[in-house]
């Protein structure tokens, strides 16, 4: 077995003031303990002139709170990485709290509490 660490690449919209916080174990109230994110790698400029921050998240069971500006609106969402699984999973805030309280394993949270689409995404445009 090699010493090479594997990572999950997370790209976050920039500008604005995006952040990625590692969520540590919480208390029974469900309040998160946010840890500094040491996984920031670089910022890239895309062909259309926009920019993204690139974060390299370790291949471990961890949860994250991500805040970025999408379509001009601040957006907060939650993600999980699972050791040995190359995917980045979007989970609900409730699922992140359940895991913070250690009521479920992270694999169970990913399966049972995925992120739900916003109702605003389904509104008909008024014409």
As a three-state string, the secondary structure of 101-113 is CCCCCHHHHHHHC
What is the dihedral sign for C-alpha 62, 68, 70, 75?
A: positive
**Ranges of H-type helices in 11-126:** 93-100, 106-112
Write out pLDDT tens, residues 92-120. Answer: 999 998 888 888 999 999 999 999 766 55
Write out pLDDT tens, residues 60-69. Answer: 998 998 988 8
Write out pLDDT tens, residues 59-94. Answer: 999 899 898 888 888 889 999 999 999 999 999 999
Give strand ranges (E) for 1-127.
7-14, 19-24, 33-35, 40-45, 51-58, 62-70, 73-81, 88-91
pLDDT-derived band at 22 (thresholds 50, 70, 90) equals confident
Q: What is the Cα 52 distance to its own chain's centre?
A: 15
* Three-point CA angle 99, 104, 109, nearest 5°: 70
């Amino acid at each position: 077995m090699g010493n090479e660490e594997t990572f999950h690449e997370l790209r976050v919209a920039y500008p604005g003031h995006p952040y990625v916080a590692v969520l540590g174990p919480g208390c029974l109230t469900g309040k998160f303990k946010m840890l500094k994110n040491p996984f920031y790698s670089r910022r890239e400029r895309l062909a259309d002139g926009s920019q993204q921050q690139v974060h390299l998240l370790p291949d471990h069971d961890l949860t994250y709170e991500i805040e970025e500006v999408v379509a001009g609106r601040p957006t907060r969402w939650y993600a999980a990485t699972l050791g040995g699984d190359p995917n980045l999973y979007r989970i609900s805030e409730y699922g992140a709290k359940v895991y913070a309280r250690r009521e479920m394993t992270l694999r169970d949270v990913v399966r049972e509490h995925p992120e739900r689409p916003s109702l605003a995404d389904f509104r008909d445009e008024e014409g």
